[in-house]
Amino acid sequence: MNLSMKWLADYVKVDVDAKKYCYDLTMTGSKVEGYEVEGENIKNVVVGKLLSVVPHENSDHLVVCQVDVGKEEPIQIVTGANNVKAGDLVPVALDGSDLPNGVHIKKGKLRGVESNGMLCSLGELGLTKHDFPYAIEDGIFILEEDCKPGDDIREAIGLNDTSVEFEITSNRPDCLSVIGLARETAATYGIPFETPKPEYNGIRGNVTDSLNVVVENEELCKRYIGGMVKNVKIGPSPRWMRERLRASGVRPINNLVDITNYVMLEYGQPMHAFDARFIVGNEIHVRNAREGETITTLDGTVRELSPEMLVIADTEKPVAVAGVMGGEYSGIMDDTVDVIFESACFDGASIRRTAKKLGMRTDSSARFEKGLDQEGCMPAILRAFQLVEILACGEPLDTVIDCCAKKRERKTVDFDPKWINSFLGTDIPREDMVKYLKNIGFEVVLNKVIVPSFRVDIECNADIAEEVARFYGYNNIKGTELTGVANARLTEDRKLRRKLEQACNALGLYQIETFSFISPKYYDKIGLPKDSKLRESVTISNPLGEDTSVMRTTVLPSMCEVLARNYNLRNPEASLFELGTEYLPTEEGKLPYEPDRLSIGIYGGGADFYSLKGIVEEIFDSIGIDGVEYEAADQNCGFDEVSMFHPGRVAAASVNGEKLAIFGEMHPEIAEGYGIGTRVYCAKINVDVLLKLDYSERVYKPLPKYPAATRDISLICDDSLPVASLEKLIKGAVGSVLERVKLFDVYKGEQIAGGKKSVAFSIVMRSAEGTLNDEQADAAMKRVKKALAEIGAEVR
């Protein structure tokens, strides 16, 4: 809502500068986005009177003018315009002047003749023909205003208003009007304010003689007032009206249409004007549109209507989409004689749906959809008639048709100053509260507040508390500290997340944050099987684009995208992790399961499968999980993402049969698809499973008192035999004195037969009872060798 300060001054006189005004109104709840001083960017442009116009000696199309600009001597200006003659009053940009389009005018010579400025057109002053209908677009603006040479052009043509842009919240449609904002302004400064009561004389006549109104849907049309103006004289509206419309951001059209817009801006009540000639049957029907009906709206577009939409129709066809836009056919034209004014109250939700469906949000629909006051219809039409008489552009009848006007009880809310103070934490005297409320049109009678009808938003005592608070001043309320016992803690899942973050950081991984929605094509990029359950995503019905259209069922594609991006940015190495969410559909109509996942992605810096595995192991260790088992992962590993990994370099981790993680080297073809020209390693850990695990607190083990005995063993076995199974075997064979088995070498190649590998372990044994002697250690090693021999491993 743009408010003209000149217009405001009709109702409230405020004596502060624009900046202060904007601040003050913002602090009482009418938020100001900014303000614009009209003509601010026009400098040193004055009214000039042409004394003489003679041809240029060196040019056919230039003329040389002597111009009286209010100084002792006239100045000489050369112009190319051909619509000027001696005696004309014109805008003159003097030497050193600024124009709205950023042009700076300086004196100079045109074809050898001195020119001390420029004569201006409408466009050069930032205006259009709508602002001054008597002027021409392509030529110098010949002023018909009451002004004299030397006057500042901004004063001369009324380009001196200040327009304040308010951001009115949806609960306050009453403030989408000059009067509403005047009331708030008066209350802000404690100035008395009277709501205007427009009056007009009218000509005698019964409107029902020439018009009938039938409201067929009283649910969607709460009130409909129709009035008639006879013998209108269509023409431009006067300058003051055009200026105010312009300052409010509305284009002037003609006097009758301008009146309807003027009333909407001033009273907040949208109005419409019909040419009575085109209302077939002289009947207005407020009804739902019929299947297949169309209307060409004022903007020249053919609109298809549907039955839930409310229309204004004559006996044959719709003539307007109720509360949204009028029809082209019945609009006001230059030869219109009789005009029907409509001032109605339509259902907000219905208007909102219709405007949305037709894709045209207008100043009118934006007001209606917030729910207007049906008491506002009558003052608006009276004001319109008053303006017709002020403009002398027609003869309003002295009667109106008022349909569905129901007498409503005024809303009342309990007034309990004690409760208000206890709710706000203040100590505001009752009489101050009463004063604040009265200033904005509320009445206080004993322990009740009577709410003015235009305050559609007020329903309960908290609403009254807000009205009191905003005029008392939010910032005058002194803050207090919360009292009472508070028992705060991090949830288990957030604790776990923090532990994981710490471990990842310590392992050199940087955290990333990616979008939760992805493209369904991402599933193809990681080679998910066509029948994978992970392809069933929660799908957004109105996405921004395909790229962000489904909620991810796996976090890995997001990680791959980030790895690829960093690779393309020529970052030589990357070690990343994300704590992200997956969205796994459950039942139709139910919310998805949203488990947390830890994803890891690494390339460069000498990373290999085992460095990734080391990271995964350390992460499990850091949060206190023991007994994790690792095995080569295949199609049945429980992670469909196995498809994105190198089939020989991918492992799944589990504990007690619970699937914990999948990790490995990215399949070379998948990496190629992402444009990554190096080996890439990825992991996904199910944080939700980690959270469910039973963590036993770690218990202190006494530090060893006796020295350990260490024996190394080297063996040759089938290459296919997993090292983990050898380790398990050794552990079993050594028995209770085993402290740890540590792999220190795996070798394949020269001196080792094909299909075989050499593996070496260091075995550390220790007893809590005493120093192990050689015999005890050797006996254990004997058992190890025997067990290894049994599975065909040859001890070297």
> Binding pattern to other proteins, positions 443-472, x when CB under 8 A?
-----------------xxxx-xx--xx--
Where does this chain touch other proteins (CB under 8 A) — which range of 6-14, 167-175, 317-325, 657-665?
167-175
Please name which of 122, 179, 124, 168 lies closest in space to residue 145, comparing C-alpha atoms. Answer: 122
Q: Which of 72, 73, 192, 541 binds other proteins (CB under 8 A)?
A: 541
> Binding pattern to other proteins, positions 727-746, x when CB under 8 A?
--------------------
3-state secondary structure at position 500? helix
Tokens of 638: 């429980």
Q: Does 418 bind other proteins (CB under 8 A)?
A: no
Question: Minimum Å distance from CB 517 to other proteins?
Answer: 8
Task: Give 753's strand partners.
Answer: none
Site residues for other proteins, 348-407, by CB under 8 A, read 348-349, 352-353, 369-370
Question: Minimum Å distance from CB 566 to other proteins?
Answer: 5
DSSP state, residue 203: B
Q: Which of 201, 206, 231, 422 binds other proteins (CB under 8 A)?
A: 422
Q: Which is nearer to other proteins, 387 or 465 (CB)?
A: 465
Please name which of 82, 98, 52 lies closest in space to residue 142, comparing C-alpha atoms. Answer: 82
Question: Minimum Å distance from CB 35 to other proteins?
Answer: 13
Q: Which is nearer to other proteins, 679 or 731 (CB)?
A: 679
Q: Which is nearer to other proteins, 23 or 240 (CB)?
A: 23
Question: Minimum Å distance from CB 290 to other proteins?
Answer: 23
Q: Does 571 bind other proteins (CB under 8 A)?
A: yes
Q: Which of 94, 504, 534, 555 binds other proteins (CB under 8 A)?
A: 504
Q: Does 636 bind other proteins (CB under 8 A)?
A: no
Q: Does 486 bind other proteins (CB under 8 A)?
A: yes
DSSP state, residue 35: E
Asked if 391 contacts 238 with a C-beta cutoff of 8 angstroms, the reply is yes
3-state secondary structure at position 182? helix
Helix, strand, coil percent values for the chain (each to nearest 5): 30, 30, 45
Q: Does 692 bind other proteins (CB under 8 A)?
A: no
Site residues for other proteins, 304-343, by CB under 8 A, read none
Q: Which is nearer to other proteins, 538 or 721 (CB)?
A: 538
Q: Does 487 bind other proteins (CB under 8 A)?
A: yes
* Rg of the chain, C-alpha, whole Å: 42
Instruction: Outline where 425-548 has alpha helix (H).
Output: 430-439, 461-472, 492-506, 521-525
Q: Which of 498, 521, 705, 782 binds other proteins (CB under 8 A)?
A: 498
Question: Minimum Å distance from CB 187 to other proteins?
Answer: 12
- Would you give the distance in Å from CA 359 to the centre of its chain? 18
Q: What is the largest CA-CA distance in the chain?
A: 130
Question: Minimum Å distance from CB 511 to other proteins?
Answer: 4
Q: Which of 2, 6, 18, 27 binds other proteins (CB under 8 A)?
A: 27
Where does this chain touch other proteins (CB under 8 A) — which range of 316-324, 382-390, 430-438, 569-577?
569-577
Q: How far apart are CA 452 and CA 458, in angstroms?
A: 9
Write the burial class of residue 137 (CB in 10 Å: 0-12 exposed, 13-18 middle, 19+ buried): exposed
DSSP string over 294-340: EEEBTTS-EEE--TTSEEEE-SSSEEEETTTEEBSTTS--TT---EE
Please name which of 42, 157, 149 lies closest in space to residue 103, comparing C-alpha atoms. Answer: 42
Helix (H) or strand (E) holding 652: strand 645-655
Site residues for other proteins, 168-197, by CB under 8 A, read 169-172
Contacts of 377 (CB under 8 A, 6+ apart): 223, 224, 225, 269, 343, 344, 345
Write the burial class of residue 152 (CB in 10 Å: 0-12 exposed, 13-18 middle, 19+ buried): middle
Task: Give 661's strand partners.
Answer: 653, 685
Q: Which is nearer to other proteins, 26 or 83 (CB)?
A: 26
Where does this chain touch other proteins (CB under 8 A) — which range of 7-15, 27-35, 293-301, 781-789?
27-35
Q: How far apart are CA 367 and CA 269, in angstroms?
A: 8
Site residues for other proteins, 505-524, by CB under 8 A, read 505-517
Task: Give 760's strand partners.
Answer: 714, 745
Site residues for other proteins, 640-669, by CB under 8 A, read none
Q: Which is nearer to other proteins, 275 or 578 (CB)?
A: 578
Q: Which is nearer to other proteins, 108 or 425 (CB)?
A: 425
Q: Does 576 bind other proteins (CB under 8 A)?
A: yes
Q: Which is nearer to other proteins, 485 or 703 (CB)?
A: 485
Q: Does 751 bind other proteins (CB under 8 A)?
A: no
Neighbours of 63 (CB within 10 A): 20
Q: Which is nearer to other proteins, 240 or 610 (CB)?
A: 610
Q: Which is nearer to other proteins, 302 or 460 (CB)?
A: 460
Q: Which is nearer to other proteins, 446 or 482 (CB)?
A: 482
